[in-house]
Amino acid sequence: MTKILVLNGPNLNMLGKREPALYGKETLDDVIQGLRERAGTLGVELEHVQSNEEGVLVSQILASREKFDGIILNPAAYTHTSVALRDALQAVTVPCVEVHLTNTAAREEFRHVSLTAGACLGQIMGFGAMGYHLALIGLVQYLKSGRGPG
């Protein structure tokens, strides 16, 4: 069965409590629960990891090479700073879709640059939790079309 790793970066464990006007009232558990239901309808398996530590996220990406067909990644603040995450994505070549709850292009200037997006298949932002669903649908379609591994 197709296996997808959902990887969430720093402070996303605070969803629901963290700036709800910006990030919504749903908790991360709520978001992942909804995404698991979507995965069920698409016939794929999901594994979810959230970490506040850059090194843990890097290690998860590197280990995904053996275990996963695709990655859905919200690198959160590391989007704008992490050469290490970008290098990890380039090292494994597992297709990755970058997700942001908010439209980072419409926010502070330091959020306009994504160091990680260039190592991804694509990027979805500004649709809140729905972005994870759109990423999953796109990624599964991409894998099915034979344009990727798995």
**104 lies in the binding site for ligand DQA (CB under 6 A):** yes
Among 3, 38, 48, 111, binds ligand DQA (CB under 6 A): 111
Which residue of the chain is nearest ligand DQA when measured via CB?
Answer: 76
Binding of ligand DQA at residue 74 (CB under 6 A)? yes
- Asked if residues 20 and 26 have their Cβ atoms less than 8 Å apart, the reply is no
Nearer to ligand DQA, 72 or 92 (CB): 72
78 classed as catalytic: no
Q: Pick the catalytic residue: 48, 78, 100, 142?
A: 100
Shortest spacing between CB 84 and ligand DQA, in angstroms? 16
Q: What is the DSSP string of the chain?
A: --EEEEEE-TTGGGTTTS-HHHH-S--HHHHHHHHHHHHHHHT-EEEEEE-S-HHHHHHHHHHHHHH-SEEEEE-GGGGGT-HHHHHHHHHH---EEEEESS-GGGS-GGGS--SSGGGSSEEEESSTTHHHHHHHHHHHHHHHTTSS--
Q: Which is nearer to ligand DQA, 60 or 79 (CB)?
A: 79
Pick the binder of ligand DQA from 2, 3, 11, 59 (CB under 6 A). Answer: 11
Q: Which residues bind ligand DQA (CB under 6 A)?
A: 11, 74, 76-77, 79, 100-102, 104, 111
Which sequence positions are flagged as catalytic?
Answer: 23, 100
